[in-house]
Chain A
Amino acid sequence: MAVTTGTVARQRTLRRPLRPYGVAPTAILLLGAVYCLLPVSWVLIAATKSKAELFSTATFAPGTGLAANIADLAAYRGGVFWLWMLNTLIYAGGGALLSTAVSAVSGYTLAKYRFRGRNAIFNVLIGGILVPSVVLAIPQYVLFSSIGLAGSYWSVLLPQILHPYSIYLARVYAGAAIPDSLLEAGRIDGAGHWLLLRRVALPLMLPGMVTIFLFQFVAIWNNFLLPFIMLGDDHTFPLTVGLYTLLAAGSNQPALYNLIITGALVSLIPLIALFLTMQRYWRTDLSSGAVKS
């Protein structure tokens, strides 16, 4: 990862006094950063505005209604918003845990075992990346309703466990992080496949599994299409579908807009916290093995 603390930057400037492009690269990046932070900083401010202030005061002028907005949000339909938060946590947390387990075991097997059909199985699983989710969503809905499970937690949880790209990442990571000699030594000592998986492979793959978990957590947290199609009862909604239904209702009841904005802010807090605290695990390349900070 880039180390650009103040001192290092200063030393670099001293060593190389000529900065051929001046401040332009820094300025372009900061401009991009401002663009990316603009909507997030707006929702932080807008959540403090009262109903009257939202459409009258300057866009970035703080208001006086934060406490009232949060109280309104908490009271909306008997606190259904908190249920949406909890549901999202169940879908994203449970789904990502299961997905990481399946990906890690599959990736390890595909990287470290030689067996007939290995490449065929890998190619078929990876080919799933190219299948647009819409081709799957309609039949998944029909199939789940035929067994009476459409609208249940399972109908959103189960289809999101298998994630081809996570299996690919796990395979790459297992290949780089688990030395063959260690597995061979374990085999000579008489360890079975299950023991090797649990005691040797998975502990070594842990940092890579954290990365896979994070990406899968965000992917499920952000998914809209699948829960939107599957779920009908707002007590099972995740945040994305819940906020959308609020927005759809808001086009007739503008009084809901303050709720929606406050809800959007509250829904962002867990993800942004996870995002900032887990910085060193957000990597898209797992081939280098151990996580460097």
Chain B
Amino acid sequence: MRAHRPSGARGAGAAPYLFLAPAVVLFTLFTAVPIVYTAYLSLRRTKVSGLGLGRGARREVFAGLDNYSAAVGDGELWAGWLRVLGYGAIVLTVMLGLALLFALLLDSAHVRLARFSRIALFLPYAVPGVVATLLWGFLYLPSVTPLRDLGIDAVLLGPGTVTFSMANIAVWGGTGFNMLVLYTALRAVPRTYYEAARIDGASERQIALRIKIPILMPAIILTTVFSVIATIQVFTEPTALRPLTNTISSTWSPLMKVYRDAFVNGDLYSAAATSIVIAAISLVLSFGFLRVVRDRAFQEG
């Protein structure tokens, strides 16, 4: 703790705390309390005495880690993780790969109609996930799909293809935003960096690989971490696609299982434990990714 007053604090008094009060109150009510409450619920269960009829027959009791061991031993949940792993691998590589490619192409001096392409590529960002799923879902139906007009007989919502069809919806909806983040970062780089490389005889491709991608690394890491967190929590696309096909179960993704446990089966306790497990996995993955990337960056540097 410093003895002297930091600069700029003269007469600040309570003002900064008052200005931050709304954010702190909202954080407490809608983030901190719910987290603690979820953790509390995850350690509880309902105890049914007798036939479970009448007042007081159902009581909430301490359950220890029973809900967690049930979540870890749940085959349905593991199957969900595997499906999301396959889906996420496709989404993350294709979406972020395309976002990077488009950002680099837009930033290079050799494209025409760049403004039109940029706006068109960003447009899906304005389409809600439910509506995007609905549009693509119809385009996947055998009686509507344009592939039918081309004479191609494709089953797009079958057991073997539904993961790819769903990944396509996420790629379509997410590429534009990630592209904008990367493109904005690229536009902030002084053009003189590239001029020097050009004078030295570097090709556009070399400039992209050797200068632009390293400069973009922080933005690429940021978009990857956010995309990983979003992908683990996939819920909207499979839920909204279910009415159009019977290949998606009500527990297709871990989050769908949490929803079903909590609001269809009424078992808030195991849903709370599962959601804590989901949160823990997404935290471990994002920190793990940051760590791997940082270690590698230091080795090269």
Chain A residues close to B by CB (< 8 Å): 1-2, 4, 9, 12, 16, 19-21, 25-26, 28-30, 32-40, 42-43, 46, 54-55, 58-60, 102-103, 105-106, 108-110, 112-115, 118, 121, 124-125, 128, 130-136, 138-140, 142-143, 158-159, 161-162, 167, 180, 187, 193, 197, 218, 221-222, 224-225, 228-229, 239-241, 243-244, 247-248, 250-251, 257, 260-261, 264, 267-268, 271-272, 274-276, 279, 282-285, 287-288
Contact = CB atoms under 8 A, between A and B. Distances in A.
A76 B235 CA distance: 28
Interface of B: 6-9, 11-12, 15-17, 19-20, 22-24, 26-27, 29-31, 33-35, 37-38, 41, 98, 101-102, 105-132, 134-139, 143-146, 148-149, 172, 175-177, 180-181, 184-185, 187-188, 203-204, 229, 232-233, 235-236, 239-240, 242-244, 255, 258-259, 262-263, 268, 271-272, 275-276, 278-279, 282-283, 286
Nearest to A251: B243
Contacts of A2: 106-107, 114-115, 118, 187
B34 A139 contact: yes
A125 B33 contact: no
B185 A105 contact: no
B31 A136 contact: yes
A113 B30 CA distance: 26
A131 B148 contact: no
Contacts of A248: 242-243
A215 to B, nearest CB: 10
Nearest to A103: B23
Contacts of B117: 29-30, 32-33
B184 A284 contact: yes
A271 B127 contact: yes
A118 B115 contact: no
Contacts of B98: 32
Contacts of A279: 119
Contact of B275 (A4, A42, A132, A187): A132
A276 B119 contact: yes
A276 B263 CA distance: 39
Interface centre among B16, B131, B204, B232 (most CB of A within 10 A): B131
B116 to A, nearest CB: 7
Given A4-B112, A25-B108, A26-B112, A121 B34 contact: no
A114 B6 contact: yes
A229 B239 CA distance: 13
Given A102-B23, A134-B255, A138-B268, A59 B37 contact: no
Contacts of A33: 116-117, 120-121
A203 B294 CA distance: 39
Contact of A224 (B6, B27, B128, B181): B128
Contacts of B143: 55
A28 B109 CA distance: 14
Contacts of A113: 8-9, 12, 15-16, 19
Contacts of B278: 132, 134-135
Given A25-B105, A109-B15, A248-B243, 18 more contacts: A28-B105, A29-B111, A32-B120, A39-B127, A40-B135, A59-B139, A59-B146, A60-B146, A125-B23, A132-B233, A134-B255, A135-B276, A158-B29, A162-B26, A162-B27, A224-B236, A247-B240, A288-B188
Contacts of A29: 102, 105-106, 111, 113-114, 117, 121
Majority SS at the chain B contact face: helix
B148 A59 contact: yes
Contact of B136 (A21, A25, A39, A125): A39
A32 B121 contact: yes
A248 B115 CA distance: 38
A162 B30 contact: yes
A147 B263 CA distance: 18
Contacts of B240: 224, 244, 247
Interface centre among B118, B144, B149 (most CB of A within 10 A): B144
B31 A131 contact: yes
A21 B146 CA distance: 32
A26 B111 contact: yes
B144 A225 contact: no
Contacts of B116: 33
A131 B35 contact: yes
Contacts of A4: 111-115
Given A39-B136, A43-B135, A284-B181, A247 B121 contact: no
Contacts of A159: 30
Contacts of A59: 139, 144-146, 148-149
A138 to B, nearest CB: 5
Contacts of B16: 109, 113, 115, 118
A172 to B, nearest CB: 13
A1 B116 CA distance: 13
Given A20-B203, A32-B121, A58-B149, A136 B35 contact: yes
A48 to B, nearest CB: 14
Interface centre among A60, A109, A139, A275 (most CB of B within 10 A): A139
